[in-house]
Amino acid sequence: MKITKWLHLMEIGKIHWAERIWATVNRSNKGEIPRKMRRLCYYVTLKLRMIEMLIRRLYQECDDLYKQARRHEERHVFTPDLIGKAHALKVNDELKYWIMIDLDSLLFEIDSCCELVMKFLLEVY
């Protein structure tokens, strides 16, 4: 099926991290910011927002897991003397996997963001 119509969902926000860089580029280029630099700036901004959202979600997920783990009993606590004798505490498996997925995503997005920032800074200099 060919897509012939779509909606543009706009996110309104400032690019705080790059404001001083923009000001300097504007002065040196007589107000014109190169297209590649603008594009990289928006990509970095998107990644930073995604990282922020992932961290917020991870905080909530870890808090939920902590609440479940707080209900442990002494028989759930592992020590060197009790290896193989303590009982595992049952917690929400789905929550554990969401935490692992979000941690993996966070590491990926941080790495990706670092690469984009390096490209952006090479364009600046």
Q: Sketch the domain layout of the chain as residue ranges.
A: 25-124
- Element (DSSP H or E) covering residue 120: helix 93-124
| Model confidence at 111: pLDDT above 90 | yes
Dmax of the chain from CA atoms? 72
Q: What is the pLDDT of residues 59-98, one digit of tens each?
A: 999 999 999 988 888 777 777 776 766 678 888 899 999 9
Average pLDDT over residues 21-38: 76
Average pLDDT over residues 19-29: 74
Asked whether 17 and 45 are in contact (CB, 8 A), the reply is yes
CA distance 15 to 44: 9
Please, which pLDDT band fits residue 54 given cuts at 50, 70 and 90? Answer: very high
